[in-house]
Amino acid sequence: MESAEYEESVLDYLARYAPLVDRGVPAEADAVGPARAVGPGDVREALERCQAALGLESTGVVDDETRAAMSRKRCGIRDPAAVTASVQGLWPQRSLGFGFGDLNSGPVSPDSVRDGVSAALRTWEDVGAGFSFYEVDSEATADIWFEWRPTDDADYDMAGVTIAHADFPPFPPEAAEIVDRPPLPLHLEVGEGWITGADPAGYDLETVVLHELGHCLGFEHTPLVASVMYPSFRRNWIRRELHVTDRDNLRALYSA
């Protein structure tokens, strides 16, 4: 299929979420819009990678199932170039400071935000990999910093179907996508329908924060739909428990 035959929305999705090269490898095609900057064979390759990353059959054909998957709201972090990739950056310490920006600007009450974030932190703590989180008041002393951000977030555009993003531990610095030192951002798009719980009106804050914290601990996306690191989210849905692979991966990653 020639690139001109792909729908504009598909090309936009591939440009944003389906890298054509491995992370960290400079390429003109990976800078602005990979689906437009390369040949039709590369577009098909990106589509096949995208389908694999979403747990779909890699046909290179845009069918109804692929369109539906691409239409779901999701994390803004790009999917790994290889579906076997799972780790991007490691913390040298196990005690991490977590703090909050202005919580009054969001659609969820500050107390509900704190409760949801604290619950997600405890879920990762309870894995038994030695991690603990403590709250700090200053962004300058934080390792991870939560904030509401607009769609045109200055550090990571959340246009399209993106509703949240974080970053990977900057150890080494090139492992991260956004920052080269702490604090890592954990940003939710302020204009989305955020709620606490399962409701058709919006997306459960704790569910999404649990996913984004996985990135902050070093994990990339996985095509395993049952994992908290699957890239997409749904309304009227919660996932507040880690899959066994999430727990095993964290223990294995930080077992030394």
Q: Where are the domains of the chain?
A: 3-71, 95-253
So what's the pLDDT on residue 5?
A: 66
So what's the pLDDT on residue 113?
A: 98
- Angle, helix 64-71 to helix 8-17, in steps of 10 degrees: 60
Distances (CA, A) of 123 to 137, 195, 202, 252: 22, 19, 22, 17
The more confidently predicted of residues 232 and 29 is 232
Quickly count: other Cβ atoms within 10 Å of residue 189's Cβ: 22
Percent of the residues in the chain that have a pLDDT greater than 70, as a whole number: 88
* Structure confidence by residue, pLDDT tens digits, 152-191: 999 999 999 999 999 999 999 999 999 999 999 999 999 9
- What is the rounded end-to-end Cα distance, in angstroms, of the chain? 47
Answer yes or no: pTM beyond 0.85: yes
So what's the pLDDT on residue 135?
A: 97
- Least reliable range by pLDDT among 25-34, 221-230, 247-256: 25-34
User: Across the chain, what does the average pLDDT equal?
Assistant: 89
pLDDT over threshold 80, residue 73: yes
**CATH superfamily of domain region 95-253:** Collagenase (Catalytic Domain) (3.40.390.10)
- Least reliable range by pLDDT among 9-18, 26-35, 87-96, 226-235: 26-35
So what's the pLDDT on residue 256?
A: 58
Region 28-32 average pLDDT: 38
